[in-house]
Amino acid sequence: MRILLRGGKVIDPANGLEDHLDVLLQDGKIADVGKSLNEPDADCKQVDCSGLLVVPGLIDIHIHGYEHATPLGIDVDRYCLGRGVTTAVDAGSSGASTFAGLRKFVAEKCETRLLGFLHVSLHGLASAGCAGYGAGGECDSLKQVNADQCSSCINDNRDILIGVKVRLTADVCNDGINENEAFERAMKAAKASNVPLMVHHSISSVPVEGSADPSVLTCPGSLSKGDIYTHAFHGLKSSIINAKTHTIYPAVWESKKRGVLFDVGHGMGSFSWTVAEICAKEGFWPDLIGSDLHRESCEGPAYDLVTVMNKMLCIGMPLKNVIEAVTATPAKAIGWAGHIGSLTIGTTADITLLALESCDIALEDCQGQMRSLRQRLVPKGVWKGGNEVQITEPERFPNEAILESRRKDWPKLLIRDEQRPGSNAKRPKTSWEVK
């Protein structure tokens, strides 16, 4: 089947394209991209894309898709493909002993292309929920943290597995006792299998800044080029922002210059408007925009990848950079450049149509701080391998019930609006206080 997407504004950072162009799809591939393409034949279906952005199928580098088998798993097709994400990357829901189920029951059955980081813990997140909100997690016992089995599983499943994952949060690592060792084993596994390491780092005993002793592990300082530091914009302990000066730690800038990649990783508790705006002021943009969609974030406060992209637009991140952070950069980061993340002729026809619309919406961060959005991207169409997919929408947007529940974590923030110089902001009011 042939499909001609006519008259949209193509933004394809991988190929340096930003122009009004036509895109021809044929037999599930990108057949041509150019000005005023002729209709191949009468059977070619034409889609009017006037006023829309035509971009490569979006890549969400951070989700949790092991539905029903882990506390955090979501319906990948509903929350990813239905919102314009043609490739989703599971961020360590499975480990070497549980990956077979993720492959058989999720990756092989969903329409979304599902890839994954393998957790260095053998059982992954089979019995672990959100980190930092209660005792107990996947690295409480180092008997489960096995670098050799992790790298062996990756080597046997390279069609899906693209990296290693570890969560550095004290309460999922035996109250911090196991954090350094889990970190070392995760780095060993990534190096042995020659893949990137994604590190969750919040409320951690592993410091952000280095010390005089080079043997002391730090994060992101101990990461290598191409590794991924996720949850970059949280305002909790272990933030990349110095709580005293409200500036980015020098070690973070040094890591970024070395080639460490920084991911938004929004989730339930890891995005602060305050932190994001401080980073924007310093010109520190995320390399990757991941949603960290899971059971406790998919109906708010993250909602979906496009909503997280809209938050980046709100703080001033240029549109082209936003698109690049969900297409070309993640494709390269996971070793799939040339297959996904671009509109290169001959590659799989994964395409997302987006409208950039004016709006007047108050949108929350993960602890109930609010900002007004004056424009937002809205998914209007998606093709995966040349097949059109139905768009889905959040149940409620914004979701006041979720917003109310998230405000309870306001006291945990080390960096928040009321502490900024010259700010008159106060703790977010609950609904009963508003009334």
The per-residue DSSP string of 23-60 comes to EEEETTEEEEEETTPPPS-TTPEEEE-TT-EEEEPEEE
The pLDDT of residue 419 is: 62
Distances 331 to 87, 200, 342, 381 between C-alpha atoms, Å: 9, 20, 9, 21
Asked whether 80 and 112 are in contact (CB, 8 A), the reply is yes
Q: What angle do the packed helices 305-314 and 273-281 form, to 10 degrees?
A: 50
| CB-based burial label for 68 (10 Å; 0-12, 13-18, 19+) | exposed
For the record, the structure tokens of 216 come out as 């002391």
Distances 319 to 10, 13, 280, 285, 308 between C-alpha atoms, Å: 12, 11, 14, 12, 13
For the record, the structure tokens of 261 come out as 């990649």
Instruction: Give the C-alpha separation, 304 to 123, whole Å.
Output: 26
For the record, the structure tokens of 431 come out as 């609904």
- The backbone torsions φ and ψ at residue 406, rounded to the nearest 5 degrees and listed phi first, read -80, -20
How does the average pLDDT of the chain come out, rounded?
93
Domain-wise residue ranges, the chain: 57-346
For the record, the structure tokens of 53 come out as 């952005």
For the record, the structure tokens of 192 come out as 């042995």
* Tens-place pLDDT, residues 421-433: 444 454 444 332 3
Share of the chain above pLDDT 90, in %: 86
How do 387-389 and 261-262 pair as beta strands? unpaired
CA-wise closest residue to 233 among 268, 261, 274: 274
* Tens-place pLDDT, residues 321-335: 999 999 999 999 999
Q: Give the DSSP H/E element, type plus range, for residue 384.
A: strand 370-384
The pLDDT of residue 407 is: 83
Distances 43 to 25, 40, 57 between C-alpha atoms, Å: 13, 8, 24
The pLDDT of residue 22 is: 97
Chain centre distance of CA 271: 11
Instruction: Give the C-alpha separation, 241 to 141, whole Å.
Output: 31
Chain centre distance of CA 20: 28
Task: For residue 66, give every residue at least 6 positions away whose Cβ sits within 8 Å of its Cβ, in sequence order, or none.
Answer: 72, 73, 90, 93, 94, 98, 101, 102, 106, 124, 125
How do 351-364 and 370-384 pair as beta strands? antiparallel
For the record, the structure tokens of 337 come out as 């450049």
Which residue numbers in the chain have pLDDT < 70?
212, 419-435
The architecture in CATH of the region 57-346 reads: Alpha-Beta Barrel (3.20)
What three-state secondary structure class fits 115?
strand
- The backbone torsions φ and ψ at residue 48, rounded to the nearest 5 degrees and listed phi first, read -75, 115
CB atoms near residue 278 (< 10 Å) = 24
Q: Which residue has the tokens 């894309």?
A: 49
Quick one: DSSP state of residue 81?
Answer: G
